[in-house]
Amino acid sequence: MNRIYLDHAATSPMHPEVVATFSEALGTVYGNPSSIHGTGRAARKKLDDARKLLADSIQAHDHEIIFTSGGTEADNTAIFGTAAKKEGKHIITTMIEHHAILHACEELERQGYDVTYLPVGENGRVRAEDVKNALREDTILVSVMMGNNEVGTIQPIAEIGELLKDTDVTFHTDAVQAFGILPIDVNVLNVDLLSVSAHKLNGPKGVGFLYQRKGTAVTPLLYGGEQERKRRAGTENVPAISAFAKAAEIALATMEEKTTAYEQYKTMFKDVLDKQNVNYKENGSHSMPHILNLSISGIEIESFLINLDLAGISASSGSACTAGSIDPSHVLVAMYGDKAVESRNSIRFSFGLGLTSETIKQAAEKTAQISQRLALK
């Protein structure tokens, strides 16, 4: 069976050119970039080239990029690093953040911090006005994700950045899902900190970066060597970072063409469901082009996912299956409430490398067939 992979928002396959870059660097760039000999300098050159490319991709300066092990470390550094550096005990975030943000904030609450979790409307968007109204004299940090990983909703980051730019409040955005999909200019957005992970854009797992605007105070999470200008100890993973840069280069060069294709995929997918009279609701609005989140009437989510998998379709639910029970998606609960059916029957289809119009139509047809079969039971 040829599988159809529609879970690119969870992780993405490495692009062949990225694999080639990674493999070559694994075999040839083995020096420690902190070493002063020729082998070390060769590794440093690879590291510097990657840093420049990634900095340019968000209109930042090279020295503002801190390489990390991925999005979770970047998010945690932003949250805990800001809290440790600044006076004040109040943080503002949203109810729909990734758990790398939410769980970090919950830990700070246990340490005596006060966290405001802003609500969203049924469209999945937070209002900049709500951020403004939540600000206090002791607010030190606002963290709002750029694009939601479950429903794809794009948040008003530039609007929030504008209202915070003349304050002492640090502004962080988790751009893990958006980088490589949406154009990003940190100066237009007025963000101080921004998190990115490579494996969402056809790069390797285990590598990412945190953009830290010059002058933004953040305490490191790790202590040891003086790598990354003393902001993140540990020898840099040069092959993975080189591959990350190659993935970003490809993603940025193909952004417009991908956006067009993914929007077409969304339309095709829904057209097939409509023709098969599948009763569904699309969740979220103003969404990123590669994420399609649907609530399908009359289905039991775990059975639906199993049947999709047996049919060769890899997709995700907004729900987390743990120990045989299904907890509702915290994102959809924030949008609709914990009693709403949408909180428990959502399916996320996300698009990326390797898909075609034909595979999208095949996946949609199988989805329609399974929906009709399960809804009859």
Of 150, 97, 127, 153, residue with least CA distance to 288: 153
CA distances from 214 to 60, 65, 172, 281 (A): 10, 10, 14, 44
Q: Is 26:251 a contact under the CB 8 Å cutoff?
A: no
CA dist., res. 12 & res. 20, Å (int): 16
Q: Which two tokens stand for residue 265?
A: 């995929």
Q: Which residues contact 302 (CB under 8 A, 6 or more apart)?
A: 321, 326
The active-site residue out of 321, 337, 356, 373 is: 321
Q: Which residues contact 244 (CB under 8 A, 6 or more apart)?
A: 50, 54, 198, 203, 204, 207, 208, 209
Question: What is the identity of the amino acid at 201?
Answer: L
CA dist., res. 277 & res. 177, Å (int): 31
Q: Is 27:19 a contact under the CB 8 Å cutoff?
A: no
Collapsing DSSP to helix, strand or coil, 262 comes out as helix
CA dist., res. 246 & res. 235, Å (int): 20
Q: Which two tokens stand for residue 54?
A: 């990634």
Whether 105 is a known active-site residue: answer: no
CA dist., res. 114 & res. 108, Å (int): 8
End-to-end CA distance of the chain: 27
Q: Which two tokens stand for residue 244?
A: 């990350």
Q: Which two tokens stand for residue 20?
A: 């080639």
Question: What is the identity of the amino acid at 203?
Answer: G
Place of tokens 């005990």: 89
Which residues are identified as catalytic? 321
